[in-house]
Structure 1
Amino acid sequence: MQINLTGKIAVVTGSTKGIGFATAKGLLEAGAAVVINGRTAEAVDAAIAVLKKQQPQADVQGVVADLSDARGCEALTQAVAHCDILVNNAGIFGPLDFFETDDAIWQQYFDVNVMSGVRLARHYLPAMAKAQWGRVIFLSSESAFNIPADMIHYGMSKTACTSIARGLAKRMAGTGVTVNSVLPGPTMSEGVAQMLQEQSVQSGLSLEQVGTEFVKAHRPSSVIQRMATTEEVANMIVYACSMQASATSGAALRVDGGVVDSIAP
């Protein structure tokens, strides 16, 4: 199977690093024109420079916008009025006990992880429907189904993303537009690597080894017994954005390494 997205425009939010960056790279390799998004010009420019070095002919542009509020989302949609593929990847995470999580933090997670995707989908989907083709992905998490006791606020936001994707898929029924959520498990992104760095230094183990120990201790139901790479998650996203995935819509596509202990998708 060869995925060819030539002629398609993809917006990938929060794509200066991690899963978003890996997804942007994969979409570029498939021939799409890609819009990189981040909160600072430095981060966006650095990501584009790396992609251009790897793929000199790549059609890639950047938009600096903080998607944590309506104004930032509007800045992105004004810069890029139309797209064929929308990957709502922008998000934040971090452990915090429920009784120390105040209203402002709950609101922040909802605004960044949920409302950014809602606002962008609301803008881009009508034109996709008119064109009778489009792909929308909401980045969820295994934490949507397997709510972490130390990140209830995060789990809530990812359950919401999965729910919205399912509902939007129904709303877009018969239009040629598919909407899916992708649920990574523990993934060695830059943010996770930073979180594990101190433990790596103290233990003398590599980040990969520390990541494996983390999975075994905190996600013992994992079938692969290790962290996934950002590329492994991006592979699922790129497929879900492809022509070949035309019969996949309303799905919660798990790339969780088997962490969620269920035979149902």
Structure 2
Amino acid sequence: MADDGIEGGVARGRRRSRTPVRYSKALEARLLARLAAGELLYRIAQEADMPTPEAVAKWARARPGFREALLKARRDGGRPAGTKGQPCGLCEPVADEIFERLCEGESLTSIGRDPTMPSLSTIFRWRRDFPDFDAEMRVGMRIRAEVLADGGDDLAAEATPETAFLTQVRLTHLRWRVGTLAPWEYRTRLVEPPAAAQGKPAKRLLLRKFEVEVDPATGRKVVVAYCPNPDTGEVEREDTPGWRQAPNSAALPGGRPGWDEWPGSGR
């Protein structure tokens, strides 16, 4: 068989049969140009007039010149030789399609299951390696949340007495789902009532601070306590003349005597 008669094989297991594509210089030029521009081979192979990846590999084995040109085109397009599995480099057309499908309400998991799209692990890798793509995915999730939230109106409008409970379950799940996709807009905000509204008196906790200082009169070390004033918030020294414990407050631990019991108070 002549070289020009090598045909593009059809991969086993394909659900749809394809007409084999024969090699030609014009087809080679088109394929290499698109690969060099950054398009992915598995995307190009979806078109009926383009060869399958198996056919391209067969052509590369049979034609050394085509093999060299193919390697160069893949390097120019960001997919060097030896790269296996799903593509790791970000492809703008594929990223745009992921964003559009996400905005239409499709999940990243279902997009990753599509054999014509990058796997879910590749999408997560793109989000990790390309901040702009990650920001685009976050915007898509917010738009998707809005689309799902709009669907709640239809669920409520179509509810009947027989389906009321089922509708309630679906709406509850929908509220949770959109809250995880766009928490700033749709998350459930818990507002705890103040303690006074619950019939319990409010409590204020005062923390005392103890320091060791030298008494300038005697030269002896003494322990001095500081405590904030609950009314003013200012920290006060407890041995300051005129200092009194705040009214309606429990006794502070530490053995501090009442003001009338201090030396020099008249008792």
Whether the TM-score (by the shorter chain) exceeds 0.5 is: no
Higher strand share: 1
Q: Which protein has the larger Cα radius of gyration, Structure 1 or Structure 2?
A: 2
TM-score, normalised by the number of residues in structure 1: 0.20
TM-score, normalised by the number of residues in structure 2: 0.20
Which structure ranks higher in relative contact order (CA pairs < 8 Å, sequence separation ≥ 6)?
A: 1
